[in-house]
Amino acid sequence: MATASAAASRQKFEVSTSRPDSTRISSGEKKRGQTFPLIGAKEQADIFPSYTALSKPPSDAPFTPLRRPEFYTPLSGELNSSMLGNYRVWERDRLVDLVPEGLGGDIPKDITMISSLTTPVGLMFRQCAYEAMLSLEAEETAGEIRRRGFLIDGPKGSGKSCVLANLVIWARERGWLVIYEPRARRYMKEISEIRRSPSGLFIQAAPTRQFLETLSVFNREMLGEIPVDMRVYGKSALDGYPHSQAVRRFDRMIEKAVELELRRSAGGEEEDEEEEDEEEEEEDNGFDPDQPIPAEGITRRWRRSKKVFERSLKRRQEVESSVAASKERVRLWHEFRSDVELPSLRDRLPNPKSLWEICEFGMDHEAFAVQSAYELFQQLKRQTKFPLMIAVDDWSDLFHVSQFLSIVYDSTQFDGWIPAYHLTMPRLLCRWDGGQFKRGVKVCATSWYSNNPRDFRPELHGIRKDEVVQVPNFSPHEFATYVAYMQRKRVIKNFPLGKLEYFRMMCGGNGQDARRLLGTFY
């Protein structure tokens, strides 16, 4: 019995070591247990262009032209259509020299993801940027730039800022004078001191001074070679408003002063007339009809009637001489208008020799920074010495409300928030005025980081359809180059060959979504 019970207990607690049914393993465990083939030289040559194969592992060695992979576009020589979809790579120091203002959009995020601090960084050379370069190059060769500019538009994360940065670098490498603002939305979101001017604008002195400092890093020598056109110099007020229109803000005050002066000049005559009326009343009060009128009284009454006649005649002449009164009003108006003096850059800097002196004065005197920036742009509209490009990123954000509050807008549709175009810096950059530059264009890029593009209508800003450049998402070739670049920079590792088309389908070829997916999984 003992042996039988022991055998039964052994059978009861016996653990099976056989492999369980595969259907009991979760799908997640199955996926984690699978191994995918890695991209090698042979597989990469099959799916990528032949020149994207990486023969050697990436290293942090100094970048030299001899070791440059073939999917990098050479920086020397003319750009052509065979380079489309490739990367233009610069040393970091060289890129800082070309764009000291920084880069806009998500380009800084892409650079931050690169672990090495010495490896060169690149920007993809796309077809829309190449077409814009050809158009500008043709007009530069002709000696006259007739095009007003380009508006770079497209879906969020499609690479609009990259296209704009390519145009800026291309123009500066060709010797253009480029005014580049990569983050225009910062003027409506970053905390700074603002002051309301009589014109109703809000002066941003400190941000404007920073703008002038950044602008002068690359353009100092060219600004020093451009002379000042004194015909348009000094016509901007302290807030950038035209001086002639800013003076009109004091018209009501001048009108009240003129009326007060006219009343004051006519007050003495009225007092004399009142005194004469009082004397006549006293004489009338002393008259008794029952008493005989003496000879002196008759003479006095005759004189009084004569004065009344002369007074009425004088009043009639004053009414008939309204032209003389109008002339007096105009004279007083001109006299008081000439007494109105607004702070002007021309009083502090009467004879600047070049545009650099205007820019330097604005940097040294923060109170005149806004006026210096507006004067600088007015002078750039007249200059013909250098081809000019005004490049603004986040341009569409300049038409929304800012993060500043004012009681003036409490009962308006803005609900207390100040519109961005009522701030001096956004107002300077938001105008589509490329046609006013004699030898310049304006290139702007939209941004849909925090706003919806469905209500944006470029035609309301005077932009024609042929001036809008649509930036699409990555094509299959561009997406393959983008993945190869990220792997070359060690942003992603061990990317499976069979997942290339799958990830392009998941992100739709969008660069922002691709960076998020690839950075998360690989």
- Dihedral pair phi/psi, residue 249, rounded to 5°: -65, -20
How far is CA 194 from each of CA 10, 188, 211, 418, rounded to the nearest angstrom?
A: 87, 11, 16, 11
Residue 381 to residue 388: CA distance in whole angstroms? 9
> Tell me: the pLDDT tens digits for 301-338?
556 666 666 676 666 666 556 666 677 777 777 776 67
> Tell me: the pLDDT tens digits for 271-305?
555 555 555 544 444 545 455 545 555 566 556 66
First to last CA, the chain: 64
Residue by residue, DSSP assigns 82-148 as GGTTSEEEE-HHHHHHH-TT---TTHHHHHHT-S-SSS-EEEE--HHHHHHHHHHHHHHHHT-----
pLDDT band at residue 8 under the 50/70/90 scheme: very low
Mean pLDDT of 394-398: 89
Residue 465 to residue 236: CA distance in whole angstroms? 33
Residue 170 to residue 390: CA distance in whole angstroms? 13
pLDDT at residue 451 greater than cutoff 90: no
pLDDT at residue 269 greater than cutoff 80: no
DSSP alpha helices (H): ranges in 226-350?
A: 243-247, 251-285, 295-320, 322-339, 345-348
For 319, counting Cβ atoms within 10 Å of its Cβ (0-12 exposed, 13-18 middle, 19+ buried), the class is exposed
Domains assigned to the chain: 41-123+474-521 (no CATH), 144-238+349-470 (3.40.50), 249-282+300-339 (no CATH)
Global pTM? 0.72
3-state class (DSSP) for residue 492: coil
> How many helices and strands in the chain, by DSSP H and E?
20, 12
Residue 400 to residue 178: CA distance in whole angstroms? 26
> Tell me: the pLDDT tens digits for 404-440?
988 888 888 888 899 988 999 999 999 898 889 988 9
